[in-house]
């Protein structure tokens, strides 16, 4: 299939114009002449160059990749139907039922943008990090310093090739006996049933099985389940150690995982949490 450049560009402009900076989690600036996103704002949210957005809208770019179209769909907070339509306009097959989706529905986007009292991140079905909020970056460190391909919680839990955890910039330890490794493995096994034959998931499991003895042992046990909750201690460099609850919610058929870290209200940990968020959060909601 080939790119329907004129229609693709017009549709991209229309969807950019309808999304306000506030809804996208960006600060409102005085003197704006437009209600929607500027091209540079869409480029920042999608992780592409401004020039590329201009060329796409003007019909001068050819065959955007599936990754770029998916990033644009996430940044524009498209519905599933709109996301699929954008793929078709780009000459691409829409993400199929057997493909792991990184599309974040508007409802989850709102949780990220408005949930100031917690640190929140969204992961795909294979535990690939997709997006996080300001609180997450402040509490555990900004994941943007880690290359996108390495932002995977399963790889953090089961390092391979002598690697170290990459999603947290300082130590995070379980408060009680850590059941997270077994939960992550059983969750990945559940994902293989939901996304049979998915190449990215299969490659991840093969890499973990070959490179981490503990993962291979747990994988051989054959348990199926989901990672739901836990309690952790964050060794924050600015405010010291604080205890947080970790809750994992799963969204719909795409098996997106919304991970929420929060402190118990009325405790010293809550005070430390708020200080941590205030201590150094840079930028807006970030994504791959």
Please report the pLDDT score of residue 283 as a whole number. Answer: 37
Q: Which range marks the domain in which residue 36 is found?
A: 5-89
Please report the pLDDT score of residue 275 as a whole number. Answer: 93
Domains identified in the chain, total number: 2
Please report the pLDDT score of residue 284 as a whole number. Answer: 39
Task: Summarize pLDDT for 122-131 with one digit per residue, the tens.
Answer: 999 999 999 9
Asked whether residue 177 is domain-assigned, the answer is: yes
Strand residue runs (E) in 53-179: 119-123, 129-132, 172-174
Cα-based torsion angle of the residue sequence 223, 227, 228, 231 in order, rounded to the nearest 10 degrees: 120
Task: Summarize pLDDT for 65-102 with one digit per residue, the tens.
Answer: 988 999 999 999 988 778 888 988 888 877 765 788 88
Please report the pLDDT score of residue 177 as a whole number. Answer: 64
Please report the pLDDT score of residue 261 as a whole number. Answer: 95
How many angstroms separate the CA atoms of 43 and 15, rounded? Answer: 13
Asked whether residue 141 is domain-assigned, the answer is: yes
Asked whether residue 37 is domain-assigned, the answer is: yes
Residues 191 and 83 in one domain: no
Please report the pLDDT score of residue 253 as a whole number. Answer: 66
Residues of the chain where predicted confidence (pLDDT) is lower than 50: 1, 281-285
Which strands, in side-by-side order, build the sheet including 129-132?
172-174, 229-236, 240-251, 256-262, 119-123, 129-132, 286-287
Please report the pLDDT score of residue 103 as a whole number. Answer: 84
Please report the pLDDT score of residue 79 as a whole number. Answer: 83
Residues 199 and 282 in one domain: yes
């Amino acid at each position: 299939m080939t790119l329907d450049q004129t229609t693709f560009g017009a549709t991209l402009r229309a969807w950019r114009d309808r999304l306000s900076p506030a809804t996208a989690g960006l600060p409102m600036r005085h003197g704006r002449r437009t209600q929607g996103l500027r091209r540079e704002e869409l480029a920042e949210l999608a992780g592409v160059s401004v020039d590329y957005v201009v060329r796409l809208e003007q019909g001068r770019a050819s065959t955007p990749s599936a990754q770029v179209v998916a990033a644009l769909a996430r940044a524009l907070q498209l519905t599933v139907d709109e996301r699929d339509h954008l793929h078709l306009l780009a000459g691409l097959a829409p993400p199929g039922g057997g493909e792991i989706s990184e599309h974040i529905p508007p409802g989850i986007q709102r949780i990220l943008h408005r949930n100031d009292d917690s640190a929140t991140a969204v992961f795909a079905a294979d535990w690939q990090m997709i997006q996080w909020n300001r609180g997450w970056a402040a509490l555990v460190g900004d994941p943007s310093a880690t290359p996108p391909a390495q932002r995977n919680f399963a790889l953090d839990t089961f390092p391979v090739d002598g690697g170290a955890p990459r999603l947290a910039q300082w130590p995070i330890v379980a408060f009680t006996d850590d059941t997270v490794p077994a939960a992550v493995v059983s969750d990945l096994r559940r994902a293989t049933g939901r996304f049979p034959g998915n190449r990215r998931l299969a490659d991840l499991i093969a890499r973990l099985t070959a490179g981490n003895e503990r993962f291979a042992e747990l994988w051989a046990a054959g348990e199926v389940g989901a990672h739901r909750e836990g309690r952790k201690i964050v060794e924050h460099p600015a405010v010291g150690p604080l205890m947080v609850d970790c809750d994992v919610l799963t969204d719909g058929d795409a098996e997106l995982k919304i991970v929420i870290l929060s402190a118990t209200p009325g405790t010293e940990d809550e005070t430390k949490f708020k200080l941590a968020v205030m201590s150094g959060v840079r930028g807006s909601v970030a994504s791959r």
